[in-house]
Amino acid sequence: MSDHAHAIEHHETSTGLDSRKLAIWTFIGSECLFFATLISNYLVHKETWLTGPGPFPHQEWVSPAGQHFEPIIEIPLVTLGTALLLFSSLFVVLALANAQRGNRKGLLLWLGMTIMCGLFFVGMQVYEFTHFVHKGLTLKTNLYGASFFTLTGFHGTHVTLGVIWLITLWIEAFRGKIPPAKSLNLEIAALYWHFVDVVWIVIFPVVYLIT
């Protein structure tokens, strides 16, 4: 086989690195800019409100119009979701380590745990959004609501897509189609999953803890 054909066969670039891995890192780099704009948008608008809950979602608040609003953010629930998302990052690297060693049982176990954590996180966000809407904060209530739902909603969408991606890999692994030689497929998905985690590492203190 010629060098060129060998490079194509192994997805190598002129740097000798795998093109798919370079592509996911480039995508992650672009996603940094995407979330930077959403976080900036939130920080600029979080204290802009005319009606409804906010900008004090952590405590009781009376609007200039005399409306009384209860605190809407539930720190314990979001902390649990955050912890599970962090643990899911641990679980997915353990799944990857097992995939690279050819331990199919370990791969299925840890990848399954990762998926469960991701599903819990998505469920937590669905509950939180529903709770907020019942408390009077919607996408249209004020700029705080619009920027909050846009930022956390886009993150939740990324988590959902990540869960779907991991489920497809779990099915592949169950069918025995992820041998050690193909563990890079899981590594690429894991990189995306870690990125979703690091974005939440920024969002959690900025949105939920900084009052």
Partner 1 sequence: MDAHAPETAAAHEPGHPSTGMYVKIGVILFVLTALEVGLYEFTYGGHASTGGAALQPFFVPLLLLLSAGKFALVAMFYMHLKQDHRLFSGVFVFPLIIATVIILALIVLEAYHFAFARSG
Burial environment of residue 73 by CB neighbours within 10 A (0 to 12, 13 to 18, 19 or more)? buried
Q: Which is nearer to partner 1, 139 or 184 (CB)?
A: 184
Stretch that binds partner 1, among 113-121, 126-134, 138-146, 181-189 (CB under 8 A): 181-189
Q: Which is nearer to partner 1, 44 or 161 (CB)?
A: 44
Q: Taking a C-beta distance cutoff of 8 angstroms, is the pair 84, 122 a contact?
A: no
Q: Which is nearer to partner 1, 21 or 135 (CB)?
A: 21
Residue whose pair of structure tokens reads 């380590």 in the numeric block = 97
Is 18 an interacting residue with respect to partner 1 (CB under 8 A)?
Answer: yes
Collapsing DSSP to helix, strand or coil, 60 comes out as coil
Q: Cis bond leading into 179, ω under 30°?
A: no
Is 108 an interacting residue with respect to partner 1 (CB under 8 A)?
Answer: no
Q: Which two structure tokens, joined as six digits, stand for 182?
A: 């193909």
Is 7 an interacting residue with respect to partner 1 (CB under 8 A)?
Answer: no
Q: Which is nearer to partner 1, 152 or 183 (CB)?
A: 183
Residue 46 burial (CB count, 10 A): 19
Q: How far is CA 148 from CA 1, 34, 152, 163, 207, in A?
A: 55, 15, 6, 22, 8
Q: Give the residue, chosen from 2, 14, 30, 140, that forms a contact with partner 1 under the rule CB under 8 A.
A: 30
Give me the least distance between CB of 66 and partner 1, in Å please: 25
Q: Which two structure tokens, joined as six digits, stand for 199?
A: 């974005």
Q: Which two structure tokens, joined as six digits, stand for 203?
A: 């969002």
Is 116 an interacting residue with respect to partner 1 (CB under 8 A)?
Answer: no
Binding site for partner 1 (CB under 8 A): 9-12, 15, 17-18, 21-22, 25-26, 28-30, 32-33, 35-37, 39-40, 43-44, 58, 75, 79, 82-83, 86-87, 89-90, 92-94, 97, 100, 180-185, 187, 190-191, 194-195, 197-198, 201-202, 204-206, 209-211
